[in-house]
């Protein structure tokens, strides 16, 4: 059997952690190979080694049978290895073509030959069914298309092996289907693909083989066709898992949050949320389903006070808070797990313990008359980190930036739940997380509900909304299309509503 890339017995150690310990991954020519593992299992490190960003401490890498030393990403490029990072590396006010040729410009004399490059990009785009307009500006195109630009960037550089790091994390369900189609098109043309993911459904739908790693060790490589999702999940987590979210029927109590005719402007200063009415009761989880950009951010930011509302009222526990300050709302029982953990959720250069008191540093015992009490802070933070199993190099004094994404998310969720809020707003709480963490976070959200609190869940993952919520409010274009009971609905019905078709056929 011919392997394009072989990584044999790779070991990589960072101060205090062994990220990769004897990992072996062999990529066949023309296959889609999934790399599956929990957060912090060592997937990204392994791929960074292949892409030349880290040097392995031990082990060998072979490309097309020859042993190579990949000193930096340029070497990787020359060997035909390209990588699409989870966070795209695109210049937003450049066109697609300009972004793709950046660093590899096609020249005619001293001038750039943009037209020639654009032609080639168009050809590639057609050949692989990427459907990208070479002259569009990055800031004007969807996230899905941006990702395809990243893929084009590698194809433009004649990459034979494509590494995709969590490609579906930023995509809507439809875009994910399209991505899978594209990946299949790539291998049909003779390319080989490594896809880092922990979404089993997608592995099942796209991949030929799957290598599972756990805590820096290879657990095994399996044929996807003959392995069930459950088996792969168990290999990944190392114990048996359930996909079903266990929960008792909800027992709704008093109305905690009431929105009346809420209208909120979006960034373009036109209404992004229009005349929105919703009630969330104690002891229930209300999910918001909708395609990204249909008013969810405006809704969340209006309730939390990050954005002002143009009209309507927000009532929390019977008290109107429409024009209250953010801090005031927090003190009155609103907690918020933000969509973007690195932008909003954490001060990345603060230590974990400093981040754990982000909202409560002014309360006793964390400070008294303006002076911080480090002992009390340490104790409080350690408690959260322990009970939410946040893994870090140096515990509460670790710099937050150094944590893996999943652990950062767990820290934020721990902090917010620890506030014991009467209303917990969770936006994409499991985005980019692995099965084990997702299971855990869902349990925590339901636990919060069962303590008689209200939870508002905003997610783009339909599975998550349906499985975790008690009631589901569907939004489209900033308007509430309808509210359904989670137990009495299915993906089909909600999918139609997400497309703007009202419940029961009325517009």
Partner 1 sequence: MRNFIISLSAVVFGLIGGAILMAVTGHDPMEGYRFLFQGGLKNISRFGDTLATGTPLIFTGLSVAFAFRTGLFNIGAAGQMLFGGFCASIIGLKLDASGAVLIPLMIIAAILGGAVWAFIPGLLKARFNVHEVVSTIMMNWIAYWTIYYAVPAYLKAESVETESRALPDKATLKAAWLSDMFGGSYVNMGLFLAVIVVIIIAFIINKTTLGYELKAVGFNRHSAEYAGIGVNRSIILSMLISGALAGLAGLAQYAGNGNNIQIGVLATQGYDGIAVALLGANSPIGVLVSALFFGLLYSGRGFMNAMTDIPPEIADSIIAIIIYFAATSVLMNRVITWFLGRRRANAGSAVSGKGKV
Binding site for partner 1 (CB under 8 A): 55, 57-58, 71, 304-306, 325-330, 336, 338, 343-350, 354, 358-359, 361-362, 367, 370-372
Shortest distance, CB of residue 350 to partner 1, whole angstroms? 6
CB atoms near residue 499 (< 10 Å): 11
Q: How many residues does the chain have?
A: 507
Shortest distance, CB of residue 27 to partner 1, whole angstroms? 25
Shortest distance, CB of residue 155 to partner 1, whole angstroms? 30
DSSP string, 433-482: --HHHHHHHHHHHHHHHHTT-EEEEE-S-HHHHHHH-SEEEEEETTEEEE
8 Å CB contact between 449 and 256: no
Shortest distance, CB of residue 224 to partner 1, whole angstroms? 36
Whose Cβ is closer to partner 1: residue 181's or residue 327's?
327
Whose Cβ is closer to partner 1: residue 350's or residue 440's?
350
H helix or E strand, kind and range, residue 82 = strand 81-84
Rounded-to-integer distance, Cα 460 and Cα 289, Å: 7
Shortest distance, CB of residue 55 to partner 1, whole angstroms? 7
Shortest distance, CB of residue 366 to partner 1, whole angstroms? 8
Whose Cβ is closer to partner 1: residue 53's or residue 124's?
53
Rounded-to-integer distance, Cα 466 and Cα 484, Å: 10
Whose Cβ is closer to partner 1: residue 115's or residue 362's?
362
Whose Cβ is closer to partner 1: residue 54's or residue 156's?
54
345: DSSP letter: I
Contacts of 72 (CB under 8 A, 6+ apart): 52, 53
Whose Cβ is closer to partner 1: residue 330's or residue 446's?
330
323: DSSP letter: T
Tokens of 89: 């590396």
Whose Cβ is closer to partner 1: residue 111's or residue 371's?
371
Shortest distance, CB of residue 304 to partner 1, whole angstroms? 8
Reported in sequence order, the residue ranges of 217-368 that DSSP labels E, i.e. its strands, are: 217-223, 255-265, 271-281, 285-289, 309-316, 319-320, 334-337, 367-368
């Amino acid at each position: 059997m011919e392997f394009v890339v072989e990584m044999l017995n790779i070991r990589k150690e960072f101060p205090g952690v062994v990220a990769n310990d004897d990992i072996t991954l062999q990529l066949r020519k023309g296959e889609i190979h999934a790399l599956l593992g929990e957060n912090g299992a060592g997937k990204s490190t392994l791929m960074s080694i292949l892409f030349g960003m880290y040097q392995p401490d031990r082990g060998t890498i072979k490309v097309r049978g020859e042993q190579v030393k990949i000193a930096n990403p340029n070497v990787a490029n020359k060997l035909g290895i390209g990588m699409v990072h989870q966070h795209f590396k695109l210049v937003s006010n450049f066109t697609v073509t300009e972004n793709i040729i950046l660093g590899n410009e096609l020249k005619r004399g001293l001038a750039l030959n943009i037209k020639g490059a654009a032609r080639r990009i168009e050809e590639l785009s057609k050949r692989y069914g990427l459907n990208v307009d070479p002259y569009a500006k990055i800031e004007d195109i969807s996230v899905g298309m941006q990702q395809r630009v990243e893929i084009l960037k590698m194809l433009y550089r004649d990459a034979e092996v494509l590494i995709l790091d969590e490609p579906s994390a930023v995509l809507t369900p439809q875009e994910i289907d399209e991505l899978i189609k594209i990946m299949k098109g790539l291998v049909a043309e003779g390319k080989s693909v490594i896809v880092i993911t922990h979404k089993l459904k997608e592995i099942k739908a796209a991949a030929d083989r799957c290598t599972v790693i756990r805590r820096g060790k290879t657990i095994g490589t399996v044929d996807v066709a003959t392995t069930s999702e459950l088996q792969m999940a168990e290999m990944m987590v190392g114990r048996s898992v359930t996909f079903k979210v266990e929960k008792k029927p909800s027992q709704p109590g008093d109305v905690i949050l009431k929105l009346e005719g809420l209208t909120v402007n979006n960034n373009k200063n036109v209404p992004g949320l229009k005349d929105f009415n919703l009630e969330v009761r104690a002891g229930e989880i209300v999910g918001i389903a909708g395609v990204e950009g249909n008013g969810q951010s405006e809704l969340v930011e209006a309730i939390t006070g990050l954005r002002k509302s143009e009209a309507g009222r927000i009532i929390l526990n019977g008290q109107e808070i429409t024009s209250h300050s953010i801090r005031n709302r927090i003190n009155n029982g609103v907690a918020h797990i933000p969509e973007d953990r690195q932008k909003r959720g954490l001060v990345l250069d603060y230590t974990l313990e400093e981040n754990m008191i982000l909202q409560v540093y002014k309360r006793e015992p964390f400070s008294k008359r303006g002076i911080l009490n480090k002992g009390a802070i340490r104790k409080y933070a350690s408690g959260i980190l322990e009970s939410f199993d946040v893994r870090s190099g140096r515990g509460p004094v670790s710099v937050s930036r150094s944590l893996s994404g999943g652990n950062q998310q767990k820290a934020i969720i721990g902090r917010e739940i620890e506030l014991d809020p009467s209303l917990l707003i969770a936006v994409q709480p499991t985005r980019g997380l692995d099965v084990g963490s997702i299971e855990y976070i869902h349990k925590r959200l339901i636990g919060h509900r069962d303590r008689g609190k209200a939870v508002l869940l905003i997610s783009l993952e339909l599975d998550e909304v349906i499985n975790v919520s008690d009631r589901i409010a569907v939004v489209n274009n900033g308007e509430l299309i309808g509210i359904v009971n989670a137990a009495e609905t299915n993906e089909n019905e909600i999918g139609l509503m997400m497309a703007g078709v009202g419940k029961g056929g009325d517009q």
